[in-house]
Amino acid sequence: MPQSPISKRIYHQATKHSYLSVQLDPNYVDAATQPSSFKVYPKFYRRVKLNLNNQIHSFISLTSAVTLEKMYKEGAVKLRVNPSAGALYPTEVYIQIRNIEGFINGIYHLEVENNCLTLIYELIDDGLESYIIPGKSINGFIFLISCVYYRSSWKYKDRSLRYCWLDSGHHLGAIAASAYIHDREIQLIFDFDKLALNTDLGFENKEFITACAISGEIEDKKVRNLRLKVPFVCGTDYFEANEFIEQGYQNTSLQPSRQQKLVHPQFNFDKDKFFQTVWMRRSIRRFYKQSIPQESYWQLWQQFQQPIPTENFEEIEIYSVVHHVRGMTPGIYKGKHLLKAGNFSEKTGYLCINQAIVRDSAVTLFFTSDYINYPTAMLIAGFLGQRVYLISNFMGIHCSGIGAFYDDETQEFLGTNQDVLYAIAIGI
């Protein structure tokens, strides 16, 4: 039986940072031991190479594409359209394609490193719909986001449970961005039987489904569960189990989220420029304490307040600590309401584990929530984070997500009883 909503907070409580905890465990790792970050099925599986001149191929590819390769002494790091804590990329994408010309009806793994789809399961009268939207069939696409959690827990230990959800939210945001560019609507789904799906996908304890996005025509038609278990391939070259993460996932997977009416956002960006924004998105590593115009800040705020296309929802409240915005009094804001005036740049830098990037930002946003479903709240926080990345970059403002902060001190600083889920620094 699922635990009560109150008990879900134990996973946030158990992964909190404090000044003392960070000093006692600075969490140094040997980069040479990093597990592999790309999942690849055996060479004899059937593959479809994605051609960016094909609209369907381009839509799929842009959800996860590698956009830059950087060389370090430990080796190459392949940066992608979706941000990830520590550039560790624990997320994988599986896509069910039904009744789309040029594709066998089946479940595919998106092989990001090689920009291709690998057919891992051929459909007959079965499919993913029975787990996600029973009694319906989707002519189009079902995107499943999963986490190969050891890629993250290798470095971040128990706190990587948060990052798996945040990174999954980022990846949903990348899917939404590609859908927008390719004139497709999507719906995010968080409440479905993930545990049964993990079993039938053969994931063992090494990978787990976090979220889903659908795009296509929904019709009333019964689809049965997968008739066979999907063959499993491990997403890392070696694996070390983390009992806390596995139990945290299991114990939070079936708690229902709050519900809302499905409403789609209405953006009006130049799509060629937006494509370039998606392709060039980066997590900035340094700000120069330059001010941004108040008009730009409020335009950014208005855009990322657009609806999130889902019926499963947890409300996210956003506090902004304004440091350098021309025409605005520095201080803590909730929406457009100034809660407390003051220059808090040094304070916010300290709260975010003494990171200069936060201290020097124009604005640092903090996402909080009084959730009943912790994973859904974290996923939506990550989705909003990706939205902030893309909209700010579109407007010529740099951005960086911040997952590490002193939880209780940040909560006290903001004057809220809600859990602090995520921070985003923007500036120039």
pLDDT above 80 for 7: no
CA pair distance 21, 10, nearest whole angstrom: 17
* pLDDT computed for residue 320 by the predictor: 98
Segment 322-342, tens digit of pLDDT: 999 999 999 999 989 999 999
Burial per residue of 308-344, b for 16 or more beta-carbon CB atoms within 10 angstroms, e otherwise: bbbbbbbebebbbbbbbbeebebbbbeeeeeeeeeeb
Phi, psi of 206 (to 5 degrees): -100, -10
Let me know if 114 is exposed, middle or buried by CB neighbors in 10 A (0-12, 13-18, 19+): middle
* pLDDT computed for residue 3 by the predictor: 45
Domains of the chain (ranges plus CATH)?
34-254 (3.40.109.10), 283-427 (3.40.109.10)
* Full strand arrangement of the beta sheet holding 187-189: 47-49, 116-122, 106-111, 91-98, 136-147, 208-220, 187-189
CA pair distance 418, 138, nearest whole angstrom: 37
pLDDT above 90 for 77: no
Amino acid at 79: L
DSSP 8-40: GHHHHHTT-B-HHHHHH------GGGPPP----
Which distant-in-sequence residues (6+ apart) come within 8 Å of 73 by Cβ?
A: none
- CA-to-CA separations, 173 to 169, 217, 330, in angstroms, rounded: 6, 21, 30
Segment 291-301, tens digit of pLDDT: 999 999 999 99
Average pLDDT over residues 375-392: 98
Segment 97-148, tens digit of pLDDT: 999 999 999 999 999 999 999 999 999 999 999 999 999 999 999 999 999 9
- Residue entry with tokens 């659908």: 214
CA pair distance 309, 288, nearest whole angstrom: 35
Indicate the DSSP class of residue 312: E
Which pTM value belongs to this model? 0.97
* pLDDT computed for residue 1 by the predictor: 38
